[in-house]
Structure 1
């Protein structure tokens, strides 16, 4: 296990806590803050949402300002955490209260993610992220009304619709079937999470006649991903993959969800916002390119010519070269 620093637990350089005397009371604009940290302006607000920066409205009402000492302290921490690199390491190597990415490992609430995924189901890991408690054997159940609404909406889509299209429509339909969706108390939001996830799985069209609608989520998802007959090893691999992907810090879609939630959008709307961003070829759609590459390798029986074609065309090899992984 590895302990991590909760976001907002320490803030070097806040007013009254050191810093450079020449910057006493000086405020920076969002653009100046982004330049000093070496990140995009939207990432500045991600730091605010994580409690790593505090903002204050400009008296002129045209934007937020940030304490120069606090920004410089965060820049020093980011530089230290990224091994002194002058690149945008601070934007990539960030801590949240949930996940810490450290070199080639990452941790959920201080526990190695690979260890959790090897020993626990997707649902158990999700509960650990949400509550800090492990609930052995927990499963998520979708309300019949939500599933019916989601399936009816998904079935109305054109046949060529992709999985993300179906998930977005299912989330919207499920929200319409939930009269309590505007309850944003913690218990209600967690309850929605436990029902929305299996609803999204149930809304995907099955590829097997003997697909499952009960049991662990990975078992229910299998028959909607492939027509192959599952064995226990295959189901375990899928469950492990879901556990490893359950959270990986502030990806673009995660940030979109947080922005929607910060506007007090209900959980269905927040998830829908994230699914919209997931469509981008530099984010979720990148996995489809990697899948296509693997199919080409299987067709040719060797990877060398497939990789050579990618390099000849001046493209990066899909699935390789991610700045974090």
Structure 2
């Protein structure tokens, strides 16, 4: 017997669109949203709802007045010299992703921070050991991001120089974190390399395949920065209060560890894995939309077309150990989602594809995202250190009784 396709109730649609149920039925009566009916009530196709949500967001940005009670604008606008988007392309300062992709993650970080990595010596090995020991105190089934957060706190607690002021100390802390945190991902593995990408690949997979290392290296570079995402803004707020580098990264990780931000590649990995395991792309997407309220791995409001980070990383997937099947699954998913909603692949899908194709844990893409973005948080923190302290404090507007 064929399993019926996933579907949404009117209440679920209202939650997805952030409107009242009466508004959902108003959309139906105007012919803007399709529904089916049976004895149990009204039912909606998740992909139809997602397509409507996308179109509604676009109309709202371009023509509609802001919703009642909301400004419709960002809380504040902060000048940044780290990343910018121009004509659908992402740049770090004046260099494009395509240009940066020819080097290593360390090259990109050294240039962005204007601080070359220190030589690998005894202190670096000690920090790696501390990170691994801290992570090993957690249950084996712990999420990778929890291992990272525990390792950051432990490394900070053991650094007697953490409170020294200035960008030089911030960069020292940044390099210590980037080199030590890969060892927290799997405490039972102690990579002997000083390459950050190779250490991550060794910790997240059972092989030292150079194609995996190269893909991880590129992914780290691609994820360094992307406008003022929630975690990046939190990092700047902490730096504005003159927190030390470990506390800045710890604060940013708190905002990052959320389903709408850093956790998004995990949901996308489940979607890709379902198709690789034999589910049809249409059924897998509809089920994901029903469970999460959106289509994981697709859509990035800052771009009209494909996310350039996905465009850079996805071509590397076929060469990975399980890449052929994953690449085919991604193509199937992209065809279904694009046809029904107009959404294009984003960086979450690319990270998910990398993780599944390389045989990583389900949250492998989340870990790569976090470690790459750590470099961006440090860069933003250094910039904020040059600003007036405590400037990022909005004034509250009391609206209570």
Cα deviation per residue 1:192-243 (whole Å; 9 max; x = unaligned)?
1111111111222157x6x62313211111022222x232222211111111
Write out aligned runs for 1:141-220 (5 A): 143-205=124-186, 212-220=191-199
Shift in Å at residue 123 of structure 1?
0.7
1:263, 1:171 → 2: CA distance?
19
Greater helix content? 2
Shift in Å at residue 128 of structure 1?
1.3
Write out aligned runs for 1:80-159 (5 A): 96-117=80-101, 119-131=102-114, 143-159=124-140
Structure 1 unaligned segments of length 5 or more: list them: 1-33, 51-95
Q: Say which SS state the counterpart of residue 260 (structure 1) adopts.
A: helix
Shift in Å at residue 113 of structure 1?
1.5
Answer yes or no: is 1:284 the counterpart of 2:262.
yes
Partner of residue 225, structure 1: 204
TM-score by length of 1: 0.66
Q: Which has the higher contact order (CA 8 A, sep 6+)?
A: 2
Indicate how the Cα distance of structure 1 residues 305 and 268 shifts in structure 2: closer, same or farther if over 3 A, else same: same
Q: 2:294 aligns with which of 295, 316, 321?
A: 316
Indicate how the Cα distance of structure 1 residues 158 and 232 shifts in structure 2: closer, same or farther if over 3 A, else same: closer
Q: 2:220 aligns with which of 222, 242, 249?
A: 242
Contact 1:146 1:178 in 2 (8 A): no
2:82, 2:290 → 1: CA distance?
41
Indicate how the Cα distance of structure 1 residues 260 and 314 shifts in structure 2: closer, same or farther if over 3 A, else same: closer
Contact 1:123 1:138 in 2 (8 A): no
Q: Say which SS state the counterpart of residue 276 (structure 2) adopts.
A: helix
1:314, 1:249 → 2: CA distance?
25
How many residue pairs were aligned?
Answer: 234
Contact 1:153 1:169 in 2 (8 A): yes
Indicate how the Cα distance of structure 1 residues 267 and 140 shifts in structure 2: closer, same or farther if over 3 A, else same: farther
Partner of residue 275, structure 1: 253
1:301, 1:313 → 2: CA distance?
16
Contact 1:256 1:274 in 2 (8 A): yes
2:163, 2:219 → 1: CA distance?
32
Q: Say which SS state the counterpart of residue 106 (structure 1) adopts.
A: strand
Q: Say which SS state the counterpart of residue 300 (structure 1) adopts.
A: coil
Contact 1:206 1:223 in 2 (8 A): no
Partner of residue 397, structure 2: none
Cα deviation per residue 1:226-276 (whole Å; 9 max; x = unaligned)?
22x232222211111111111112111111111111111100000001111
Indicate how the Cα distance of structure 1 residues 104 and 319 shifts in structure 2: closer, same or farther if over 3 A, else same: same
Shift in Å at residue 153 of structure 1?
2.0
Q: 2:282 aligns with which of 304, 310, 314?
A: 304
Partner of residue 73, structure 2: 39
Structure 2 unaligned segments of length 5 or more: list them: 1-68, 308-401
Q: Say which SS state the counterpart of residue 277 (structure 2) adopts.
A: helix
Q: Say which SS state the counterpart of residue 143 (structure 1) adopts.
A: helix
- Superposition CA RMSD, Å: 2.5
